């Protein structure tokens, strides 16, 4: 293998096997130096590049080497020309997008849960903070220059493209990816452009958003205005698809995604600063602020009661990952997490006997409204009967006067009629408007109090809560006893779906971001991923047509690409059901079994508590209920008597 000389050390090295190749050159192992590798350029670097590499090797501090594959020394050939450089060797690391994409995470990081993602996010922020602390700028931020290990540590790669400061000299970063480029730089030429740490902070925020929001790009969404809205255009126009002003900018986040506020108000506000117009004026928070925010988020995470491998911010009322999985049918975490088996011997009969032994609180007592009501002794009030008698008497006198008038057609008859009308008017019951209104208000208040007390009675004394809890325990017992049958049914289903599942696994090997599909570049690839379409198996015509910017032509291209791979699939009838599917099934059933057992074990105490609460509440609330009903009936009688 070819021999080179270390420029500063003056010693010779020999290259080992080729480890990888890119657009600029190739990376080789270094014989007798297992901790470093050599990058050899296909075209020898120019003088400016050599100056930059030399400055970087001079600036290779231990702190930088912990987070970046930084140039250590230049390599010269036999003629003294610089051909490349050495840098630390990285092992057992994967591209960051393999972690934040749910499908690739299932293979690359099967043990990862959300706590791990937040931990990695904080380490990414630490890497950026260190680069900025040394006066440098990453510049070409993208998910291809960041590797992550199984321990959650991260390393920046392709560091020779960074913007490096050496004294008064600035060696610019002359490349960039639009999907990670700040709005104020969109459309600008990168060659010779001096960037700032504030520009890096936009790219950092995009990386972190991908990580926390399951591989979604923050500017990939549905645009309600005319025309297409590709991601780079949305960035340039500050159309943050998850932001609080998304309605004003005509954007909406894709289906199956979580709201921005899921990670808490502080992190939501930080993303808002990073992606909003104020960020272009230098208001993007620095990497150290992200470290603090993510560490706070990590400390707040709690385990989901339904799926212990789900961890989510403790301030949320429910697990967001369960909702996303139910909506998308994609498992986000827990690919290789084994449910812990129950401890101790389980005697279901004993548990159920304890449940059945809890005393029933008995039927609900009759309500006062269901019994005849009698006026309490000592309570004075007007009689409605007296009011009716006076009304009848008044009408009778008036009628008698009318009859008298018709019998006596002289002056005496007229006077007799007038006198009878006067007597009728005097007998007729009369009540002032104010008094009648006061009685109406008293009745309304008594009715409201009765309804309030009645609701308290039903909540605290009704047997319904006890009956519903007992019914749920009966259902849990029946489901627990049926779990062996459920396992048989699921195994039969897996057996029946063997061909489809083999096809799915085969098609999942072909990722869109690694394919060459006509019309599908990095922006559209990111848009597809933001709608949950990452592999050939995800390609579905009607589903793709719903994605902004994807019409019949692009959909056809994707369908043809999928079809080409599908034609190469061969079903192997001798291949058994995938062990991974069986493990996942057993894990789900075991988690369900433990959940049902926990419910049943808590059943006696829960039922006993309900029974005791109901039994204690009835004598306590009975007088209050009776009093409220009596007050209502008295108010009603007084109102009707007026």
pLDDT score, position 637: 78
Q: Tell me the Ramachandran region of residue 137: left when phi exceeds 0, alpha when psi lies from -120 to 50, beta otherwise.
A: beta
Q: Is 20 exposed, middle or buried (0-12, 13-18, 19+ CB in 10 A)?
A: exposed
> pLDDT tens for residues 478-509?
999 999 999 999 999 999 999 999 999 999 99
Judge contact between 625 and 462, C-beta under 8 A.
Answer: no
Q: Report whether pLDDT(390) > 80.
A: no
Task: Tell which residue, 80, 52, 316, 276, has the closest CA to residue 184.
Answer: 276
Q: Report whether pLDDT(386) > 70.
A: no
Judge contact between 99 and 107, C-beta under 8 A.
Answer: no
Give the span between the Cα atoms of 120 and 211, in whole angstroms: 9
Task: Tell which residue, 586, 627, 94, has the closest CA to residue 379.
Answer: 627
Q: Report whether pLDDT(377) > 80.
A: no
pLDDT score, position 306: 79
Segments in 568-578 forming alpha helices (H) = none
Least confident of 184-193, 264-273, 382-391, 443-452: 382-391
Mean pLDDT along residues 439-444: 85
Q: Confidence band (pLDDT; 50, 70, 90) for 14? A: very high
Q: Where are the beta strands (DSSP E) in 280-381?
A: 301-303, 311-313
pLDDT score, position 348: 86
pLDDT score, position 339: 44
- Please give the C-alpha separations between residue 539 and each of 105, 524, 566, in angstroms, as whole numbers: 19, 14, 11
Contacts of 282 (CB under 8 A, 6+ apart): 198
Q: Report whether pLDDT(407) > 60.
A: no
Q: 3-state SS of the chain: helix, strand, coil percent to 5?
A: 55, 10, 35
Q: Confidence band (pLDDT; 50, 70, 90) for 372? A: confident
**234 three-class SS:** helix
> pLDDT tens for residues 301-319?
999 987 888 999 999 999 9
Is residue 140 flagged as an active site residue? yes
Q: Confidence band (pLDDT; 50, 70, 90) for 279? A: very high
Q: Confidence band (pLDDT; 50, 70, 90) for 344? A: very low
> pLDDT tens for residues 514-568?
999 999 999 999 999 999 999 999 999 999 999 999 999 999 999 999 999 999 9
Nearest-5° angle of CA 389, CA 395, CA 401?
Answer: 135
Q: Write out the H or E segment, with its range, that includes residue 481.
A: helix 464-496
Within 10 angstroms of residue 538's Cβ, the number of other Cβ atoms is 22
pLDDT score, position 392: 62
Mean pLDDT along residues 249-275: 95
Mean pLDDT along residues 43-67: 94
Judge contact between 196 and 141, C-beta under 8 A.
Answer: no
Q: Report whether pLDDT(256) > 60.
A: yes
Q: Report whether pLDDT(430) > 60.
A: no
Give the span between the Cα atoms of 219 and 275, in whole angstroms: 9
Segments in 110-196 forming alpha helices (H) = 114-133
78/253: higher pLDDT? 253
Rounded to the nearest 10°, the torsion over CA 291, 294, 295, 298 is -160
34/199: higher pLDDT? 199
Among candidate residues 73, 113, 140, 160, the one labeled active-site is 140
327/233: higher pLDDT? 233
Axis-axis angle for helices 498-508, 464-496 (nearest 10) = 80
pLDDT score, position 314: 92
Q: Confidence band (pLDDT; 50, 70, 90) for 1? A: low
Mean pLDDT along residues 65-82: 93
Q: Confidence band (pLDDT; 50, 70, 90) for 583? A: confident
Q: Confidence band (pLDDT; 50, 70, 90) for 327? A: confident
Percent of the chain whose pLDDT exceeds 70: 89
pLDDT score, position 15: 93
pTM: 0.75
Percent of the chain whose pLDDT exceeds 90: 65
Q: Write out the H or E segment, with its range, that includes residue 20.
A: strand 12-21
Question: What DSSP designation does 179 have?
Answer: G
Give the span between the Cα atoms of 184 and 235, in whole angstroms: 9
- Please give the C-alpha separations between residue 18 and each of 29, 30, 596, in angstroms, as whole numbers: 6, 10, 55
Beta bridge partners, 95, equal: 147
Mean pLDDT along residues 218-226: 94
Q: Is 363 exposed, middle or buried (0-12, 13-18, 19+ CB in 10 A)?
A: exposed
Q: Report whether pLDDT(141) > 90.
A: yes
pLDDT score, position 424: 57
Task: Tell which residue, 232, 303, 292, 310, has the closest CA to residue 524.
Answer: 232
> pLDDT tens for residues 146-155?
999 999 999 9
Q: What is the mean pLDDT of the chain?
A: 88
Mean pLDDT along residues 431-437: 67
Q: What is the full DSSP assignment across 407-440?
A: H--SHHHHHHHHHHHHHHHHHS----HHHHHHHH
Q: Confidence band (pLDDT; 50, 70, 90) for 457? A: confident
Within 10 angstroms of residue 514's Cβ, the number of other Cβ atoms is 9
Give the span between the Cα atoms of 523 and 530, in whole angstroms: 11
Within 10 angstroms of residue 412's Cβ, the number of other Cβ atoms is 10
Nearest-5° angle of CA 55, CA 60, CA 61?
Answer: 135
pLDDT score, position 555: 96
Judge contact between 289 and 270, C-beta under 8 A.
Answer: yes
pLDDT score, position 343: 44
Q: Confidence band (pLDDT; 50, 70, 90) for 588? A: confident
Least confident of 130-144, 162-176, 569-583, 627-641: 627-641
């Amino acid at each position: 293998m070819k021999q080179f000389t270390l420029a500063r050390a003056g010693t010779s090295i020999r290259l080992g096997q080729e480890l990888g190749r890119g657009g600029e050159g190739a990376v080789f192992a270094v014989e007798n130096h297992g901790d470093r590798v050599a990058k050899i350029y296909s075209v020898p670097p120019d003088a400016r590049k050599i100056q930059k590499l030399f400055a970087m090797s001079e600036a290779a501090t231990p702190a930088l080497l912990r987070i970046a594959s930084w140039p250590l020394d230049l390599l010269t050939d036999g003629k003294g020309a610089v051909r490349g450089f050495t840098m630390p060797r990285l092992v057992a690391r994967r591209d960051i997008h393999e972690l934040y994409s749910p499908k690739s995470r299932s293979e690359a990081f099967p043990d990862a849960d959300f706590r791990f993602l937040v931990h990695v996010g904080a380490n990414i922020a630490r890497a950026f903070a260190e680069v900025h602390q040394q006066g440098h700028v990453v510049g070409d931020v993208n998910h291809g220059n960041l590797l992550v290990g199984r321990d959650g540590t991260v390393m920046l790669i392709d560091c020779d493209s960074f913007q490096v400061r050496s004294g008064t000299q600035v060696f610019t970063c002359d490349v960039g990816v639009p999907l990670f480029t700040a709005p104020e730089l969109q459309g600008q030429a990168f060659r010779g452009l001096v960037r700032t740490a504030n520009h890096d902070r936009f790219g950092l925020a995009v990386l972190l958003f991908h990580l926390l929001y399951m591989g979604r790009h923050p500017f990939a969404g549905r645009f309600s205005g005319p025309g297409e809205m590709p991601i780079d255009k949305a960035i340039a126009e500050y159309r943050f698809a998850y932001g609080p002003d998304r309605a004003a900018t005509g954007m909406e986040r894709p289906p199956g995604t979580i709201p921005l506020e899921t990670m808490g108000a502080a992190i939501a506000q930080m993303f808002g600063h990073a992606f909003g117009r104020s960020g272009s004026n230098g208001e993007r928070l620095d990497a150290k602020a992200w470290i603090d925010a993510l560490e706070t988020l990590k400390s707040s995470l709690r385990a989901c009661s339904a799926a212990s491998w789900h961890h989510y911010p403790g301030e949320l009322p429910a697990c967001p990952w369960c909702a996303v999985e139910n909506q998308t049918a994609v498992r986000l975490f827990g690919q290789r997490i084994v449910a812990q088996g129950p401890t101790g011997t389980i005697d279901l009969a004993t548990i159920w006997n304890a449940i059945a032994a809890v005393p029933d609180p008995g039927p609900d007592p009759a309500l006062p409204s269901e019994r005849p009501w009698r006026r309490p002794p000592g309570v004075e009030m007007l009689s409605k009967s007296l009011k009716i008698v006076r009304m009848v008497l008044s009408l009778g006198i008036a009628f008698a006067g009318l009859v008298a008038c018709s019998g006596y057609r002289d002056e005496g008859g007229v006077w007799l009629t007038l006198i009878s009308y006067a007597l009728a008017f005097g007998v007729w019951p009369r009540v002032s408007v104010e008094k009648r209104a006061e009685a109406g208000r008293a009745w309304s208040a008594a009715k409201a109090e009765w309804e309030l007390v009645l609701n308290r009675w039903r909540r605290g004394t009704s047997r319904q809560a006890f009956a519903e809890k007992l019914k749920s325990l009966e259902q849990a017992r029946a489901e627990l006893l049926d779990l062996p049958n459920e396992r048989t049914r699921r195994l039969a289903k897996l057996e029946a779906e063997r061909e489809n599942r083999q096809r799915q696994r085969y098609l999942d090997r072909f990722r869109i971001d690694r394919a060459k599909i006509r019309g599908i570049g990095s922006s559209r690839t990111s848009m597809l991923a933001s709608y949950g379409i990452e592999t050939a198996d995800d390609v579905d015509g009607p589903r793709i047509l719903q994605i902004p910017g994807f019409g019949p032509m692009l959909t056809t291209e994707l369908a043809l690409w999928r079809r080409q791979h599908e034609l190469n699939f061969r079903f192997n009838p001798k291949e058994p059901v995938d062990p991974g599917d069986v493990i996942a099934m057993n894990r789900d059933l075991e988690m369900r079994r433990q959940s049902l057992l926990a419910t049943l074990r808590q059943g006696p105490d829960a039922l006993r508590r309900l029974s005791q609460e109901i039994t204690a509440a009835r004598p306590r609330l009975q007088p209050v209920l009776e009093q409220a009903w009596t007050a209502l009936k008295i108010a009603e009688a007084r109102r009707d008597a007026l």
